[in-house]
Amino acid sequence: MGKQLTKNGQIKLSPSALSLFKECPRCFWLHYKQDIKRPSGAFPSITGGMDRVIKDYFDTYRGALPPELEGKIKGNLIPDVELLKKWRHWKSGLEYIDDSIGAKIYGALDDCLVDDGVYIPLDYKTRGSAPKSGDSEKYYQTQLDTYALVLKVNGYPVKDIAYLIYYFPEKAENHGVVKFNIQPVELKASPDNAKRLFEEAVNILKADMPAVNKSCDFCSWRNGA
């Protein structure tokens, strides 16, 4: 499994790995067991650039909230910026290790809220338009569940909620300034669901290749259907 193993032989997975497993166990197995990955296009650099400037902006409001989010989400931004910088990097971020199955999962949080001593994961998302109903749960539920799990197992009490903060363009103004809309979305967050999915994913990697998933376009493409 190469890069998916730690130095001591543990399986290591990320939230995106669990999302792939949830979508198609066969594609997940091929990706991590045989390094056969789904085709992908170029990753837009604007997303990384937006992520960087949003983090810098949020860091100026540690212990509080940016004014555009006041009254719209619960809690305040975690005040300890040095701790958050560790959490943001996958090498020093929070992780959950289950020695009984020889695996770990790690997560690099964008940000985190604190509400009366309870921690709430928060993630920034940049897109071209306002999110549609159900998109947040469909694409990001597993990610937020995983963040809640790694917080909880590392001694940080969590609520059953998490937030996505969407940024999407509204209009271009004078001097090349682009105005963005900001829309927070509150989701349920379940550490138990992440733990269950993590265990199921590890079990798949220890078993034979799953059958073709007839509802997966990538499986159909790869098998010439």
Per the CB < 8 A criterion, the answer to whether 218 and 27 are in contact is: yes
For residue range 162-171, list pLDDT tens digits in order.
Answer: 999 999 999 9
Per the CB < 8 A criterion, the answer to whether 99 and 90 are in contact is: no
Q: Residues of the chain with pLDDT > 70: what percent? A: 94
CA end-to-end span of the chain, whole Å? 28
Which residue positions in the chain have pLDDT lower than 70?
1-8, 41-42, 224-225
pTM of the predicted protein model: 0.92
Sequence-distant (≥ 6) Cβ neighbours of residue 88 within 8 angstroms:
55, 108, 109, 110
For residue range 62-75, list pLDDT tens digits in order.
Answer: 999 999 999 999 99
Distance CA 91, CA 15 (A): 14
Strands (E), the chain: 11-13, 76-77, 94-98, 103-107, 111-115, 118-126, 161-172, 178-188
Domain boundaries, the chain: 2-222
Q: What is the pLDDT of residue 203?
A: 96
Supply the CATH classification number for the domain 2-222. Answer: 3.90.320
